[in-house]
């Protein structure tokens, strides 16, 4: 079969990585899957026109019930949808968007949620379609660049490398957009850095919101101990994650953070903001540490610094958790089974 697959494909984002991984699962079963960016289409009519010009398409997929799913409402092909996270956590609160999302869910053959909590939220906010919503956590596979220079990475971010071996680098992996709240920790972290200059915060990710990017660059420029790194390839990012002291998440909303799961897989401690999407994968003091304020972030970080048993425990259990619950093989089998229902 040939499938049209719609997703937000901003370079080096979680959505893009997830879409490419799912596409490969589908193609490994012998299908053809054409991945297209939702930014290419203005309305459902545009997608309907594309399909009319390409009669070989036999089904469709979309990640994000509103941004991508709405574009499939005018097509006559069977399709499935994958919740993106912000659709169920944020967009559903807007009545106009919620109505559209209900239409998409009613027409879809199946829907996939990354967590049980995301499925429960979808069932409570949208017209009940319990029987067609499946839970399949993201499959995780990390790749570390072999030729990666940690010293060069730090110096290119503006960090003095005099004490490179003693630095404790907290790596905030996020695209620069409001929902990721990249400035949430900056002020308090800077105060902590002034007390102990070996603690530094590095923000790394694609510049997705131009207005916010300018704001982040200005704040970082005048803030001690906080740095902004240029985005890197996935393999280089994983190499940087593996060398850092801890990976940080400060998002307002998450479906399922790939960076958190990748850090766990790489054996790196995670410090995540205590929101439903993060709490669904990070068990406090067992697979990582959760915080609810910038001050609590510093407190939990200090615990991670002083309590070696705690650090070893969250690293060990995080790795086991990813291996048991985020199997790439299981994810591949699930999507291959689901697309077979689109015949």
Q: Residue 218, CB half-sphere, CA atoms under 13 Å: how many? A: 6
- And the tokens for 319? 């790795």
Residue 343: count other Cβ atoms within 10 Å of its Cβ.
9
| Range list of β-strands (E), the chain | 2-7, 32-37, 59-63, 79-82, 110-113, 133-135, 168-173, 199-204, 226-229, 246-249, 270-273, 289-291
| Residue 50 reports pLDDT greater than 80 | yes
Q: What is the pLDDT of residues 219-246, one digit of tens each?
A: 999 999 999 999 899 999 999 999 999 9
What backbone phi and psi angles, to 5 degrees, belong to 114? -75, -25
CA angle 159, 164, 170 (to 5 degrees): 65
pLDDT tens digit string along 167-201? 999 999 999 999 999 999 999 999 999 999 999 99
- Give start-end residues of each CATH 3.40.50.2000 domain in the chain: 2-139+327-342, 150-325
Going by C-alpha positions, the residue among 139, 153, 171, 141 that lies closest to residue 249 is 171
Q: For residue 85, what pLDDT band results from cuts at 50, 70 and 90?
A: confident
Q: How confident is the model at residue 12 (pLDDT cuts 50, 70, 90)?
A: low
Mean pLDDT of the chain: 93
Rounded to whole angstroms, the Cα distance separating 339 from 304 reads 43
How confident is residue 128, by pLDDT bands cut at 50, 70 and 90? low
Superfamily of domain 2-139+327-342: Glycogen Phosphorylase B; (3.40.50.2000)
Residue labelled with tokens 């049209």: 4
CA dihedral 234, 236, 240, 246 (to 10 degrees): 10
Q: CATH number of the domain at 150-325, please?
A: 3.40.50.2000
CB 321 within 8 A of CB 256: no
């Amino acid at each position: 079969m040939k499938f049209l697959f719609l997703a937000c494909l901003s370079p080096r984002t979680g959505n893009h990585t997830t879409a490419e991984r799912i596409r490969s699962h589908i193609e490994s079963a012998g299908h053809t899957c054409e991945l297209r960016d939702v930014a290419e289409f203005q309305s459902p009519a545009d997608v309907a026109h594309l399909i009319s010009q390409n009669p070989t398409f036999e089904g469709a997929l979309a990640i994000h019930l509103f941004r991508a799913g709405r574009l499939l409402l005018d097509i006559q092909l069977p399709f499935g949808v994958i919740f993106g996270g912000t659709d169920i956590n944020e967009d559903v609160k807007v009545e106009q968007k919620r109505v559209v999302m209900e239409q998409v869910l009613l027409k879809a053959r199946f829907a996939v949620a990354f967590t049980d909590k995301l499925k429960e939220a979808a069932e409570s906010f949208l017209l009940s379609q319990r029987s067609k919503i499946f839970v399949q956590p993201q499959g995780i596979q990390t790749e570390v660049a072999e030729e990666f220079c940690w010293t060069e990475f730090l110096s290119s971010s503006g960090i003095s490398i005099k004490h490179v071996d003693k630095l404790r680098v907290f790596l905030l992996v996020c695209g620069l957009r409001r929902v990721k709240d990249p400035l949430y920790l900056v002020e308090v972290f800077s105060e902590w850095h002034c007390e102990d200059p070996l603690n530094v915060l590095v923000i790394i990710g694609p510049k997705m919101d131009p207005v916010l990017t300018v704001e982040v660059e200005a704040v970082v420029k005048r803030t001690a101990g906080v740095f902004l790194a240029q985005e890197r390839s996935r393999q280089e990012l994983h190499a940087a994650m593996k060398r850092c002291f801890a990976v940080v998440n400060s998002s307002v909303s998450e479906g399922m953070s790939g960076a958190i799961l990748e850090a766990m897989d790489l054996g790196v401690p995670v410090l995540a903001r205590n929101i439903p999407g993060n709490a669904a994968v990070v068990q406090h003091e067992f697979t990582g540490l959760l915080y609810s304020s910038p001050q609590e972030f510093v407190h939990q970080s200090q615990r991670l610094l002083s309590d070696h048993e705690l650090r070893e425990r969250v690293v060990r259990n995080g790795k086991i958790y990813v291996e048991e619950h985020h199997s790439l093989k299981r994810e591949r089998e699930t999507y291959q089974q689901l697309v077979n229902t689109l015949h």
